[in-house]
């Protein structure tokens, strides 16, 4: 059995090491930074238990929420899209091994893009990614 939380933690650790902005699981980082990434499980995938039958390549869908705050909405929007692009590039980079004890990510793809939502001084972008996980 593969623990979904371990896959999420590996993704968070990889993104946090790759990006200059803070990355957290499920909550915004402390200290109210101007830009950050939150890794979430989208609705319907909010189970942190174990995945059975990993021989069939279990799929863990992650949602990357990028948030940027700036006094000008157009600059917040541009910076948010830049951060979203860098986060997507990092999570889809196959040269980086995402793995743990007894499991490994064997494939990655974009599942959906919710687009950019600028609201006042805050821009928010959401995109979903499928990680194919198999026993190692």
Strand order in the sheet with 122-135: 23-25, 35-40, 58-69, 122-135, 103-119, 99-100
pLDDT at 13 over 90: yes
Across residues 101-125, what is the average pLDDT? Answer: 94
Distance CA 40, CA 86 (A): 17
pLDDT at 42: 86
pLDDT at 8 over 60: yes
Inform me whether the pLDDT recorded for 54 exceeds 60: no
Determine what percent of the chain is predicted with pLDDT higher than 70. Answer: 90
User: According to the model, what pLDDT value does residue 45 have?
Assistant: 63
Tell me the average pLDDT across 108-125: 95
Contact call for residues 35 and 15 (beta carbons, < 8 A) = no
Instruction: Please give the Cα distance from 79 to 99 (Å, whole number).
Output: 30
Q: Domains (ranges, CATH) in the chain?
A: 2-135 (3.30.2000.30)
Q: Is 60 exceeded by the pLDDT of residue 49?
A: no
Q: Tens digit of pLDDT for each residue in 30-47?
A: 999 999 999 999 887 655
Q: What does pLDDT average to over the chain?
A: 91
pLDDT at 2: 80
């Amino acid at each position: 059995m593969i623990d979904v939380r371990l896959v999420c933690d590996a993704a968070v650790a990889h993104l946090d090491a790759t990006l200059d902005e803070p990355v957290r699981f499920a909550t915004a980082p402390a200290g109210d930074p101007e830009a950050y990434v939150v890794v979430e499980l989208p609705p319907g995938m909010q189970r942190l238990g174990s995945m059975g039958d990993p021989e069939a390549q279990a799929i863990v869908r992650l949602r990357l929420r990028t948030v940027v705050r700036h006094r000008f909405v157009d600059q917040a929007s541009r910076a948010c899209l830049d951060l979203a692009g860098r986060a997507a590039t990092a999570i889809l980079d196959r040269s980086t091994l995402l793995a743990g004890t007894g499991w490994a990510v064997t494939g990655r793809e974009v599942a959906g893009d919710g687009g950019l939502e600028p609201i006042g001084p805050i821009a928010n972008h959401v995109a979903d990614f499928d990680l194919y996980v198999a026993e190692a």
